[in-house]
Amino acid sequence: MDRRVGIFATIVALSSLRWLWLMHGCALDLAPDEAHYWDWSRQLDASYYSKGPLIAWLIAASVELLGPWSLRQTGSLVLAVRAPAIACGALLLWGLWELSRQTLHSSRLAWAVVGIACSLPIVSAGSILMTIDAPFVALWTWALVVGHAFWIDRRRWTWPMLGVLVGLGLLTKYTMLLWLGSAALFLAARPYLLVQGAWRGTLGILTIAGLACLPMLWWNAAHDWIGLRHVAGQAGVEPHSQPTTIRWWGPCEYLGGQCALWLGFWFALWLAAIIRYRPGREPSVYLAYLWWMSLPTFVVFLLASVRKSGQVNWPVPAFLAGLPLLVALLADLFPRLSLAGQRWLRRAMVVSLGVGIGGTVLLHDSRPVLPWLSACCEAESETRPTPVRRLDPTCRLRGWKTLAETVQRLRDQVRQQRQQEAIVAADQWTIVSELAFYLPDQPRTYSLARAAAGRYSQYDLWHPNPIDEAQAFQGRSFVYVGEELPGWQHRFEQVQGPIRVTHREAGVAVASWKVWLLLGLRGDFADLVQIRPEY
């Protein structure tokens, strides 16, 4: 019990520090994904173009409860939007501790797992940014905990809880299906775990998870299965997806990305644990559970990389069971090493923890090192105005307020000169989402991505929009952010711009956009639309 109090106190303290940082020291604007999901939360639905509905409902509930307080304390809704991420981060660490304690039978090793997780930048990012991964990894982890309790510890009463966790995971992200697939492989390797009535509970789990999916299925059926086709397109298995050729270097790119994400050392240890505890060699059902709940998900994305590149964070769920597995390897391996080997291993762990903690600090605020990063890049130019973005991914969370100020000034200009409200639009869903959040009145904004050969998004499903119902926008003026579209002079009465908006920090350009003022729409964009919705 004392050790549980200790882990709870640690998690509460860490969550409190994150909360205080968001209130008083956060220099990061909302990430594009966060702003996009916030915009979803303003139009609640049974599902959305690329994801299930849970992320939007969580943000909507948080903004409803904390929004007025957040506005009073910080002047914006950022704190209210990100509050669920802090809660999910706390649940993740607690779940990792419980999972490790159950499978490794050692509170000391469970603390080691939590310590490694806290040092990883990807874990810290998921605990402060309200992206889809924040609730998803928390639900995946607790499904691992409850799945262990049901199948291995034979706590038969836990099956409804597991069904709910898997169902909520599916409502968050379709890849929760991989959890079910991994569990099926584990049970196929250990069929004796389904005796004594466990198979009935397993059917109950699948039933509850299936019922949870009904809103998404109903929504997809009403929208030509667009969400499922989007996922298939990302995996490169949709009939019309691109590219259609095999990416021979895809697996190397995938493995390199995962190695970097897990700081090399932890990734190597995980691979060693996967080899050491492979089927037929694992010493216990507990490590077998971790093995089967880790490797299959990793392999699925490895195979998918042959067809199409993905995001480096997609296989993160594979390492939720992988962290206790690699700690089990360390505990097993360390006593068998020579003194020199033990010293080398300790140094490697200290360096990896130090690199991880340093990366986590820079994730929160990289401004002190921006001049050094800029010195490692090519000089700024018209074609490459922000070269530092290649080295600092947090640049995607900078400058949106600066852009919104310029857009608002142009909106005021249109209001004064033409006595009408300007339509705010952009050629990327990321910009559309950020402007919707950071403009003072948080207006509805529009995507012209399909006319600019950009990505299809949820904005293309909301009506009216300028692409599908151009007649509803005739005569209106646009403040547009993005690259020039063909034939503007024929579509608008007058085109002004571009205005180059550049956001600098520590003297370094970290974000840059082109802003146009398009007066009086008198045409449409139908001839420019060439992309399919699943992309």
For the chain, the structural domain boundaries read: 2-340, 396-528
Across the range 271-294, mean pLDDT stands at 91
pTM greater than 0.85 (yes/no): yes
C-alpha Rg value of the chain to the nearest Å:
25
Query: Distance between alpha carbon 443 and the CA centroid of its chain, in Å?
Result: 25
Across the range 493-518, mean pLDDT stands at 94
Share of the chain above pLDDT 90, in %: 79
Residues 360/119, Cβ–Cβ less than 8 Å: yes
Across the range 289-309, mean pLDDT stands at 92
Phi and psi dihedrals of 511, rounded to 5? Answer: -155, 145
Over residues 40-73, the pLDDT tens digits come to 999 999 999 989 999 999 999 999 999 999 999 9
| Those residues with Cβ within 8 angstroms of residue 133's Cβ, 6 or more apart along the chain or in another chain | 126, 313, 316
Residues 154/201, Cβ–Cβ less than 8 Å: no
Burial class of residue 443, CB neighbours in 10 A (0-12, 13-18, 19+): middle
Write down the pLDDT at residue 455.
82
Burial of 183-206, coded b for 16+ CB within 10 Å and e otherwise, reads bebbbebbeebeeeebeebbeebe
Q: How far is CA 359 from CA 123, 322, 504, in A?
A: 11, 21, 22
Cα separation, 380 vs 374, in Å, equals: 9
Burial class of residue 221, CB neighbours in 10 A (0-12, 13-18, 19+): exposed
AA identity, residue 258: Q
Query: Distance between alpha carbon 398 and the CA centroid of its chain, in Å?
Result: 17
Write down the pLDDT at residue 235.
65
Cα separation, 203 vs 183, in Å, equals: 13
pLDDT at 240 over 60: no
Share of the chain above pLDDT 70, in %: 96
